[in-house]
Amino acid sequence: MLQRKRPLVAGVLRRVLSDVFGIDHDPVVEVPPQRRLGDLASPCALHLARELRQAPRAIAERLVECLELPEGFERVTVEGPGYVNFHFARSRFAAVMIDAAPVVESGASDAPAKVIVEHTNINPNKAAHIGHLRNAVLGDVLARALRGLGHKTEVQNYIDDTGVQVADVVVGFLDLRDCSVADIEALPEPFDYVCWDLYSEVGRWYEGDPQRLELRRRTLHALEAGEGRRAEAGRLIARRIVARHLATMARIGVDYDLLTHESEILRLDFFVAAFEQLKETGAVRFEESGKNAGCWVMPLADSEEFQGLEDPDKVIVRSDGTVTYVGKDIAYQLWKFGLLGRDFEYAPFRDGPRRGSPLWKTGPAEPDAGDGGAERRPDFGRGARVINVIDARQAYLQRIVRAGLEALGHDGEARDSIHFAYEMVSLSAKTAERLGFSGDSQLEMSGRKGIGVKADDLLDQLEAKSRGEILERRAADGDGEAGEEVDLLARQIAVAALRFFMARATTTRVIAFDIDDATSFEGESGPYLQYSIVRARNIRRRLREEGLAQEVPGSRVATLPAGVWSDDLWDLVLCASQCQEVVERAAATLELSLIARHAVDLAQKFHAIYHRHPILHEQDADLRDARLAVTQVFERSLEALAEILGVPLPERM
């Protein structure tokens, strides 16, 4: 809503600046820090003071005298050192807010263009930890924001089922523990927890005798070839772990459209196709001698962004003929844009929980599909924009992938290959110590070393804590039953706490994960948002019980006297009117914390108003309706933001 008013104000100012002072100036329009100062303001008089050789306030006053008040505004004032401040006609603005959707489609102009978001991408060899949760929450919130803004969005989760990490667990089962494939199959859940321990155990086992690394190499080759007992074990492990990962993510409301498997990229020779292109265009060359003798490398020395590297060439194909990660990733990225000239085969995914829309995986179509093939397969790939949610440590590799597209002449697609980089999650000193790791400073998590907080453990802890809090409150109200409703509410609160914790952090900062901080239900937290909406809903429930109207129509709000809008009430309306531009800016800059912070902002304003402005017991009808209108606007706005954040909103707490 507010985003539509800014150009109005800018236009009026530009016109009057031209008319009165004869200058061409593009005025900045911002929101003043306090509501009593106005709703939209421009510091243009300050900017122009030098050029016009006049005091800023004098310029501002002249502007106010001469300008034509734009539609929807009540007055213009000069404030502070010389700001020109515009004040909305509050009742009319609020009336529009009552009927307007807080977040609407704005990407409609490029509606057919699809955005592919890749996230989660956990190696299928161990349990997910809290670092993976940051990735998944960021990816999921981004996808929700893009969808909310009307972009066609496809979410992919890349499964590296043929890499060293899976190979190590295969070695762990087959060589270290002497299991058969059937033994692995028979292991009880939680299988991912078993692998978590085994994986770090294998790491230590290798250290005990470096000769054992030969087993890793042999297994890796078997996984890539896809044949034999080791490959069979690898497939089984990956399948079981992926099922666990999807179950963990389903707990917090994260889902996907497609699981892309590295094994399929190998099986279908995606890299062969990409390699042909790379050779044809001269993007790679064969090294006859030197450090990289026998390898195919991509030269980076000519590119400005790769200056100062120790080695200006990136190996794409090793001297033993195998392909590096970057090579495979270039092929995969080409496929995402529909530039590879090949496609996957697809099959419905049947090994795990499935939510709203059906989940698909890459792989041979299963002929024995028992459900009559009712599901129609979407058209995967061929994105116009590709956003890869990958931690900041991989920035260099992501740049090489983009350079690969550039080298092939796909400049546009290279520009639209976006690395959504975020910093990792480490453990706070206090939390590391509590978990038994030496805790003199922050500690980086490491799956390889078995250092970390497992995602499901954290969720269990959050659920247990919220259940405790609920029961405590219910007992205090003499309302002690603990049924399914309590379970559901405990889960909702846990999800809100976790998702908000991950979403509120700026992406460029390392999160020092502190267990007390993460499980806090007070202040800036997911439950704080939930509680604010519960209060709004309680007001409506009470109104219904009293037989009073639960909603006030926009037509009524438009006729309210201006005096009902105290600055604090009005401030919430204006804050709510910024949801659209906040979500747009968050999606455009990939700074999703903006959404979380705006949601807190709204909730804080509402909580404060709640105490100062009762509705049920207000006798003055105008005042009551204004307050109810604000409650309505608040509720819809926070609901819209919570939907994007994936924070569930319960009816009561």
User: Site for RNA (CB under 7 A): which residue of 73, 88, 256, 610?
Assistant: 610
Provide, rounded to whole angstroms, the least separation between the CB of residue 337 and RNA: 20
Which residue in the block uniquely carries the two structure tokens 């299988």? 191
Number of Cβ atoms within 10 Å of the Cβ of 124: 27
Region near RNA per CB under 7 A, out of 79-87, 102-110, 237-245, 550-558: 79-87
Sequence letter at residue 240: R
Is 616 a binding residue for RNA by CB under 7 A? The answer is yes
Region near RNA per CB under 7 A, out of 140-148, 377-385, 535-543, 554-562: 535-543
Q: What is the DSSP letter of 524?
A: S
Is 14 a binding residue for RNA by CB under 7 A? The answer is no
Residue 455 or 511 having the CB closest to RNA: 511
Dihedrals φ, ψ of 364, to 5°?
-60, 135
Is 611 a binding residue for RNA by CB under 7 A? The answer is yes
User: Site for RNA (CB under 7 A): which residue of 15, 355, 509, 544?
Assistant: 509
Is 366 a binding residue for RNA by CB under 7 A? The answer is no
Is 614 a binding residue for RNA by CB under 7 A? The answer is yes
User: Site for RNA (CB under 7 A): which residue of 16, 49, 155, 576?
Assistant: 49
Provide, rounded to whole angstroms, the least separation between the CB of residue 90 and RNA: 17
Region near RNA per CB under 7 A, out of 96-104, 251-259, 547-555, 600-608: 600-608
| Contacts for 13 with CB less than 8 Å, ≥ 6 apart | 27, 29, 42, 44, 63, 67, 84
Is 505 a binding residue for RNA by CB under 7 A? The answer is yes
Strands 443-444 and 425-427: antiparallel
Q: Which two tokens stand for residue 388?
A: 């890869």
Residue 146 or 623 having the CB closest to RNA: 623
Is 43 a binding residue for RNA by CB under 7 A? The answer is yes
| Contacts for 543 with CB less than 8 Å, ≥ 6 apart | 549, 550, 615, 616, 628
Is 608 a binding residue for RNA by CB under 7 A? The answer is yes
Scan residues 448-487 and list those touching RNA (CB under 7 A).
466, 469-470, 473, 477
Is 318 a binding residue for RNA by CB under 7 A? The answer is yes
Q: Which string of b and e fits 585-607 if b means at least 16 CB within 10 Å? A: ebbeebebbbbbbbbbbbbbbbe
Residue 179 or 202 having the CB closest to RNA: 202
**Strand pairing partners for 386?**
116, 417
Provide, rounded to whole angstroms, the least separation between the CB of residue 189 and RNA: 25
Q: How far apart are the first and last CA of the chain?
A: 31
Residue 315 or 455 having the CB closest to RNA: 315
- CB-side neighbour CA atoms (13 Å) of 269: 4
Sequence letter at residue 111: A
Is 623 a binding residue for RNA by CB under 7 A? The answer is no
Query: How many residues form the binding site for RNA (CB under 7 A)?
Result: 99
| CA–CA separation, 645 and 637 (whole Å) | 12
Provide, rounded to whole angstroms, the least separation between the CB of residue 83 and RNA: 4
Dihedrals φ, ψ of 42, to 5°?
-130, 130
Provide, rounded to whole angstroms, the least separation between the CB of residue 651 and RNA: 9
User: Site for RNA (CB under 7 A): which residue of 75, 279, 355, 607?
Assistant: 607
| CA–CA separation, 462 and 473 (whole Å) | 17
Residue 152 or 541 having the CB closest to RNA: 541
| CA–CA separation, 487 and 470 (whole Å) | 10
Residue 382 or 597 having the CB closest to RNA: 597
Dihedrals φ, ψ of 85, to 5°?
-115, 130
Is 534 a binding residue for RNA by CB under 7 A? The answer is yes
Provide, rounded to whole angstroms, the least separation between the CB of residue 493 and RNA: 5
- CB-side neighbour CA atoms (13 Å) of 145: 28
Is 527 a binding residue for RNA by CB under 7 A? The answer is yes
User: Site for RNA (CB under 7 A): which residue of 91, 120, 123, 577?
Assistant: 123
